[in-house]
Chains A and B, each alone.
Chain A
Amino acid sequence: DQQVKQNSPSLSVQEGRISILNCDYTNSMFDYFLWYKKYPAEGPTFLISISSIKDKNEDGRFTVFLNKSAKHLSLHIVPSQPGDSAVYFCAANTGGFKTIFGAGTRLFVKA
């Protein structure tokens, strides 16, 4: 049972434009949501997170939006840069325990 789903395996965006990565979840007990960036043969690095009591969190070029009623979150990257090309994982947990990850979306930013 996939509790966290990233239905787009890949996304291609032109440099300077907006990248929007989407994520859906099924477990209403999740209260914390995170996005990670991963390069090949490296561990994922934390990007940005959001608590379930908020609907938006912004950090520089990265913004995460949470729609609890739809059980949906998204990561916006503006403007996209070639260095943003990586696999992005959506994740969720309850009280910081047992973080569950989606399958990942590979982002290609074209120069």
Chain B
Amino acid sequence: SQTIHQWPATLVQPVGSPLSLECTVEGTSNPNLYWYRQAAGRGLQLLFYSVGIGQISSEVPQNLSASRPQDRQFILSSKKLLLSDSGFYLCAWTRPPGNTIYFGEGSWLTVV
């Protein structure tokens, strides 16, 4: 069966510090990978998606970037965090031609 893991689960970072969130998917190959963010009291906003190694598309202009160095690994990064980057970050995957998206456990980021 397929599983998805992301880490760290919780982190508190000062403004201006870097960020790296990692996500891996097991039990499948060539997945589409996604990063979503849920800001406090809001819905799920799609940040990045990837259909293959090295292929990244950004949905919103922001202080964040994503990379996919391996088929089942997706990384969310920032060089300098802003207060507005605080939120709940979710990694997710789909396996074409499947239509259902599956989520990781989430990572709480608080920028102070």
Interface, chain A (partner B; CB < 8 A): 6, 32, 34, 36, 41-46, 49, 51, 89, 91, 93, 95-104
Contact = CB atoms under 8 A, between A and B. Distances in A.
A51 B100 CA distance: 11
A41 B100 contact: no
Contacts, number: 65
B99 interface: yes
B44 A49 contact: no
Given A43-B90, A97-B32, A103 B100 contact: no
Q: Is the interface of B mostly helix, strand, loop or mixed?
A: strand
Interface residues of B, number: 25
Given A41-B106, A42-B105, A43-B104, A98 B90 contact: no
Contacts of A97: 32, 94, 96
B43 A89 contact: yes
B27 interface: no
A32 B44 contact: no
Interface string B7-49: 0000000000000000000000000101010000011111001
A10 to B, nearest CB: 11
Nearest to A97: B32
B101 A91 contact: yes
Nearest to A51: B99
A101 B92 CA distance: 13
Given A41-B108, A43-B90, A43-B106, A96 B98 contact: yes
Given A96-B32, A98-B46, 14 more contacts: A6-B43, A32-B99, A34-B100, A41-B106, A42-B105, A43-B90, A43-B106, A44-B90, A45-B103, A93-B101, A96-B96, A98-B49, A99-B101, A101-B45
